[in-house]
Chain A
Amino acid sequence: MKEIIRLDNIRRDFVVGEEVVHALRGVSFAISEGEFVTIMGTSGSGKSTLLNILGCLDTPTSGEYLLDGTPVRTMSKNARAALRNRKIGFVFQNYNLLPKTTAVENVELPLMYNSSVGATERRERAVTALQRVGLGDRLNHKSNQMSGGQMQRVAIARALVNDPAVILADEATGNLDTRTSFEILVLFQKLHAEGRTIIFVTHNPEIAQYSSRNIVLRDGKVRDDIVNNNILNAAERLAALPVNDDD
């Protein structure tokens, strides 16, 4: 399998006042195409820092990070912006949709910063992405007219629209109720089945059961890196959940 991500002894130090905080103390692992990896850890374990580095928002103090074969550490800010635009799809805990903006326009956003995609193609790809997350009938709904689950679906469509090498989800189910969380997990499993590479950062151990691999961080180091041979099916779990009365 093709290697999408390779981390080699990644360190990240922050200088806070006079002190140096070692957020990451030598993290190494590789992720191949088509893996669904959960990264877990308590707060302070360095998981946010790792996510920022994986997402090319931050660069490591030392070590090498290869994204789809490209070394990121020495890249300029603008080159990293372009890399994020082409190779990475972000899904955030609080959705981060543009307010008072329609679903389609939200999904179009990454393509707006890609001059090689014309207006017609942009619209087509946004519509296709929304159809894939099951929102084909809500293209022109504004972000403030949607439920949390719908907003997260729009966010996932936005992450898919640029056909990224990897989807980075940061506590993507953190703000959702159990039922909606499983709906989103079903969606992630579907994307995984389609061959997408997904990295899901969470502190909820339950979610690890639905991924293909689980990496646990503690104190800036990898403590566990376990391949999950017994992936649970989120769709089955969803069907077993009691139906909410108020839905």
Chain B
Amino acid sequence: MNILNLFKIAIRAIAGNKTRSFLTMLGIIIGVGSVITMLAIGQGSKLSIQQNIAEMGSNMIMIHPGADRGPGGARMSADEMQTLTLDDYNSLCNEAKYLAAVSPNVSSGGQLIAGNNNYQTSVTGVSRGYLTIRQLQVEQGDMFTEADIKSGAKVCVIGKTIVDNLFPSGANPVGQVIRFNKMPVRVVGVLKSKGYNSMGMDQDNIVLMPYSTVMKRILAQTYLQGIYASAITEGMTDLAIKDIRSILRQNHKLGDGDDDNFSIRSQEELSSMMNSTMGMLTALLGCVAGISLIVGGIGIMNIMYVSVTERTREIGLRMSVGARGIDILSQFLIESIMISVTGGLIGVIIGITISELIAVLSGWPVTVEAWTVVLSFAVCTFTGVFFGWYPAKKAANLDPIEAIRYE
């Protein structure tokens, strides 16, 4: 018996029952389509969150004063808040390996005034390295210089939101003098817009000044609210954290038994937390879709089973003209595989189309990945074999004498 003939026989049988074949396929079409769409939505949101985190600077390391005691209110004493100093910053600049950039972080809230416009915001005192750490770019003008930092110059670089609020007429802000509270400052640069981040925070509501200016002229304090750094690559983050920790412990003269009086967090922790959450969501969506695929498979078994009973006489006839048990088995198996594979193909097309439609209509970042297509296709072929086997076996074991006279 030639396999090509078996295929021909199966195709003729399917073509002879178009409606029933289509209804059987429907389960598989919906199953595969939903697996692809659901996984595409899951993958898409995972990807977009990863992008958002990368934009914030995925290599970023944040050092804050005080021990990391987890969440739970204001338990820090005043002197614990003041453990990070400019000395720490300088030693990190000079000694720390694996770091691409380091910047102190001091900030103060207040009002910005330009002419008769004002805007309530906060200024952040940083070094030039801050641009690298947060992946910011200066669009107009320039970043303040090392000399500005040394002298504590009254200069600032502002974000798009600040420009829109202080200069609604569209005048070029670079070179203009504005006031922070009572202190006049000169705008030397405007940052390129970054829009909102994934938590909905406006990343353009930002005013950068030399840290020395903020410390001496605004806050009049000698300690830092934090130090931000950036590892050379994401993979070096852990090494960098270890390195920073040993430098800071040495600086703070902490003994072996003492707890850290500072805490180090990396963006990587945040991103891996987000990833695992999104991974769970994707798995959940995949499970729901997978169940519908299994239901589709059972649908195939159901129809094939009924079909064997309904076609008993046909099977008897085929046997009487010389079909062996294996020929009948192969025919029914090929029929169910062809139904599920055809259904799978249609499902893949529909799944991709719906994913694209969702992407266009809702603006969600939907990504169809090749492995989801391969997976769902493999599953539906397997479904065809698995759920087609039992009815096919039943057909092959029919007694031709009884089958041919079956009413």
Which A122-149 residues have a C-beta within 8 angstroms of B? none
**Chain B nearest Cβ from A170, distance in angstroms:** 9
Size range of the interface on A? 20 to 34
User: Is the pair A84, B320 in contact by a Cβ cutoff of 8 Å?
Assistant: yes
Give the residue name and chain of the A residue nearest to B322 (CB): A85
B235 within 8 Å of A by Cβ?
Answer: no
A109 to B331, CA, bound (A): 13
A107 to B326, CA, bound (A): 22
Number of interface residues of B (CB under 8 A): 25
Which of B76-84, B158-166, B311-319, B375-383 lies at the interface?
B311-319
**Chain A nearest Cβ from B393, distance in angstroms:** 15
A192 to B401, CA, bound (A): 27
User: Is the pair B404, A96 in contact by a Cβ cutoff of 8 Å?
Assistant: yes
Q: Which of A55, A81, A113, A162 contacts B5 (CB 8 A)?
A: A113
A90 to B314, CA, bound (A): 14
Q: Which residues of A contact B17 (CB under 8 A)?
A: 100
A162 to B322, CA, bound (A): 11
Q: Which of A77, A158, A162 contacts B324 (CB 8 A)?
A: A77
> Which secondary structure characterizes the binding site on chain B?
helix
Which of B8-16, B91-99, B174-182, B349-357 lies at the interface?
B8-16
Give the residue name and chain of the B residue nearest to A76 (CB): B324
Q: Which residues of A contact B404 (CB under 8 A)?
A: 57, 92, 96
B325 within 8 Å of A by Cβ?
Answer: yes
A34 within 8 Å of B by Cβ?
Answer: no
Which B80-135 residues have a C-beta within 8 angstroms of A? none
User: Is the pair A105, B322 in contact by a Cβ cutoff of 8 Å?
Assistant: no
Q: Which residues of A contact B321 (CB under 8 A)?
A: 84-85, 90, 109-110, 113, 158, 162
A113 to B400, CA, bound (A): 16
Contact of A77 with B1 at beta-carbon distance under 8 Å, contacts A55-B320, A57-B400, A99-B16 already known: no
User: Is the pair A84, B317 in contact by a Cβ cutoff of 8 Å?
Assistant: no
**Chain B nearest Cβ from A25, distance in angstroms:** 20
Give the residue name and chain of the A residue nearest to B5 (CB): A112
User: Is the pair A113, B320 in contact by a Cβ cutoff of 8 Å?
Assistant: no
User: Is the pair B322, A114 in contact by a Cβ cutoff of 8 Å?
Assistant: yes
A81 to B326, CA, bound (A): 11
User: Is the pair B1, A115 in contact by a Cβ cutoff of 8 Å?
Assistant: yes
A101 within 8 Å of B by Cβ?
Answer: yes
A131 to B314, CA, bound (A): 24
B2 within 8 Å of A by Cβ?
Answer: yes
A82 within 8 Å of B by Cβ?
Answer: yes
User: Is the pair A113, B16 in contact by a Cβ cutoff of 8 Å?
Assistant: no
B323 within 8 Å of A by Cβ?
Answer: yes
User: Is the pair B325, A52 in contact by a Cβ cutoff of 8 Å?
Assistant: no
User: Is the pair B5, A115 in contact by a Cβ cutoff of 8 Å?
Assistant: yes
A110 to B12, CA, bound (A): 15
User: Is the pair B324, A78 in contact by a Cβ cutoff of 8 Å?
Assistant: yes
**Chain A nearest Cβ from B36, distance in angstroms:** 34
Q: Which residues of A contact B318 (CB under 8 A)?
A: 109, 113
User: Is the pair A96, B325 in contact by a Cβ cutoff of 8 Å?
Assistant: no
User: Is the pair B322, A82 in contact by a Cβ cutoff of 8 Å?
Assistant: yes
* Most A CB within 10 A of own CB, among B320, B321, B325: B321
Q: Which residues of A contact B142 (CB under 8 A)?
A: none
Q: Which residues of B contact A96 (CB under 8 A)?
A: 313-314, 316-317, 404
Give the residue name and chain of the A residue nearest to B3 (CB): A115
Q: Which residues of B contact A81 (CB under 8 A)?
A: 319, 322-325
A58 to B319, CA, bound (A): 12
B327 within 8 Å of A by Cβ?
Answer: yes
A98 within 8 Å of B by Cβ?
Answer: yes
User: Is the pair B16, A101 in contact by a Cβ cutoff of 8 Å?
Assistant: yes
User: Is the pair B322, A110 in contact by a Cβ cutoff of 8 Å?
Assistant: yes
Q: Which residues of B contact A57 (CB under 8 A)?
A: 319-320, 400-401, 404
Q: Which residues of B contact A105 (CB under 8 A)?
A: 12
Offer 16 A-B interface pairs, CB within 8 angstroms, sorted by A: A55-B320, A57-B319, A81-B322, A81-B325, A90-B320, A96-B314, A96-B404, A98-B12, A98-B317, A101-B12, A105-B12, A109-B317, A109-B318, A110-B321, A112-B5, A158-B321
User: Which residues of B pack against A, CB within 8 Å?
Assistant: 1-2, 5, 8-9, 12, 16-17, 313-314, 316-327, 400-401, 404
Give me 6 other A-B pairs in contact (C-beta within 8 A), A92-B317, A113-B1, A113-B322 excluded: A81-B324, A82-B322, A96-B314, A96-B404, A162-B321, A162-B322
